[in-house]
Amino acid sequence: MSSVAWDPVTGGPVLLAPGRAARPHDTRAARNPSRRPCPFCEGAEQDTPLETYAERPEGGEPNTPGWSVRVVPNKFPVIAEDEGIHEVVIPTSRHVVELTELTEQEAARALRVWAIRLEAIGTDPRGLWPFCFVNQGAAAGASLQHTHAQIVGLPVEPPRLLAIERTFARANPVAEDLAAADTRLVAEADGMAAWCPAVPPYTGTVRIAPREPTAALGEHTDFGELGRLLLDVATRIDSALGAPSLNLLVHQRRPVGPDAYHWHIDVVPRVGTLAGLELGSGVIAIAGAPEATAARLRQA
Ligand SMILES: [Zn+2]
């Protein structure tokens, strides 16, 4: 049976992943004290599928300890292996459960590897749509604590990614919004900024992007600067908003898509929940003003 189904009412794609129901959860440890050993920690390499990419500063065999960053297929993928890709980027071999606990070097390395894998998956001969995201905390969809990003290669056009791609074909609303950000600025790094968009996609969203538009994360990006900015933003969200669960969404041009794009990373603190309006109509209600969110985050 195919992983992809089409909702006959909306016409949109749906991924059928019955096997994911069996995946382990340790993010609700309080409810389930029988914690398993963490498969993402150093020494547990045999508990994951065979790695697709890793960096070992001292050398060493694949699927053994000694790695600084490791990419493995998701053991419980949203998409069948013969139809697409679903992998996990583990940015540190230490058992770290929040982005803010990463060192600047680890954050920079992780971002660089996201860029590498997005390019590789986006040029897969099957014509997959690449997308990278982080779920942190149970309310954001995380099932394993050990911080990690996920990258999918989808065999269908994701409606939201397609809509964003089509927007950049005719305009650059990210650059326009950043140019007018002013009181909505949160933090800055060399050539990059973090700000609250005037019209955010979700409540509390902080957007990170280069000031000069580049289409993909891997193009001319100073990953050290970007890593510092990302850690700064995550730390501000933790302290200003009470360490909420959060999602991090990476939007960049597809390697085989149109060139016009302005890559951006949306950090979405899960301060609200998607309710009936959002689930049923697809229309998002934004609570609070971006200027007020930005002010709180600046002061944090
Ligand atoms: Zn771990």
> How far, in Å, are 82, 105, 151, 205, 245 from residue 98 at the CA level?
32, 15, 18, 18, 10
Ligand 1 centroid – CA 30 distance (Å): 17
Ligand 1 centroid – CA 97 distance (Å): 8
Ligand 1 centroid – CA 227 distance (Å): 21
Ligand 1 centroid – CA 93 distance (Å): 7
| Assessment of whether the complete model's pTM goes beyond 0.85 | yes
- Residues 146-205: pLDDT tens digits? 999 999 999 999 999 999 999 999 999 999 999 999 999 999 999 999 999 999 999 999
Scanning the chain, the segments in alpha helix (DSSP H) are 104-122, 159-168, 173-179, 223-241, 276-281, 290-299
Ligand 1 centroid – CA 145 distance (Å): 7
- Residues 205-246: pLDDT tens digits? 999 999 999 999 999 999 999 999 999 999 999 999 999 999
Query: How many helices and strands in the chain, by DSSP H and E?
Result: 6, 12
- Residues 2-12: pLDDT tens digits? 899 999 888 99
Question: Which letter does DSSP use for residue 222 in this model?
Answer: -
Neighbours of 83 (CB within 10 A): 17
| Domain 35-299 part of CATH 3.30.1310.10 | no
CB 196 within 8 A of CB 294: yes
Question: Which letter does DSSP use for residue 15 in this model?
Answer: E
Measured in whole angstroms, the distance separating CA 207 from the mean position of its chain's CA atoms is 12
Ligand 1 centroid – CA 269 distance (Å): 23
Ligand 1 centroid – CA 35 distance (Å): 12
Domain boundaries, the chain: 35-299
Ligand 1 centroid – CA 238 distance (Å): 21
